[in-house]
Amino acid sequence: MNLLAIATLFSAVVLGLSPPTIVERNPSKVCVVPAAGNSSIDDTPAVLKAFDQCGHGGKILFQNTTYHINSVMNTTGLKDCEIDLRGTLLWSTNVSYWLNHSLPVGYQNQSTAWVFGGKNIRFDGHGYGTFNGNGQTWYDACGSVSNYPGRPHALTVSETSNSEFTGLRFVQSQMWTLSIIHSQNTLFDNIYVNSTSVKSSSRNTDGADTIYSSHITFRNWEVDNGDDSISMKANSTDILIEDSLFHRGLGIAIGSIGQYKDAYETIERVRARNITYSKTLHAVYFKTWTGEQVNYPPNGGGGGLGYASDMVFEDLKATALRGPAIAISQCTTFSGTAGNCTSSKFQLRDLSFKDLTGTTTSQDVASFQCSAVKPCENISITGVDLEVSSNGTLADEYLCGNVEGTRGFNCTGAVCVGGSATGGC
Peptide linkage before 256 cis (omega within 30 of 0): yes
CA distances from 9 to 19, 48, 56, 363 (A): 13, 19, 19, 61
Q: Is 106 left (phi over 0), alpha (psi -120 to 50) or beta?
A: left
Residues in CB range of 26: below 8 A, 6 or more apart: none
User: Taking Cα atoms as reference points, which of 318, 382, 390, 341 lies closest to residue 361?
Assistant: 390
Cα(93)–Cα(78) distance, integer angstroms: 28
User: Taking Cα atoms as reference points, which of 157, 162, 150, 100 lies closest to residue 131?
Assistant: 157
227 belongs to the catalytic site = yes
Tell me which of 43, 227, 228, 364 is the catalytic residue. 227
CA distances from 296 to 102, 212, 234, 338, 356 (A): 19, 20, 16, 16, 37
Which amino acid belongs to residue 104?
P
Bridge partner list, 275: 244, 316
- Coil, strand or helix at 296: coil
What residues act catalytically? 227
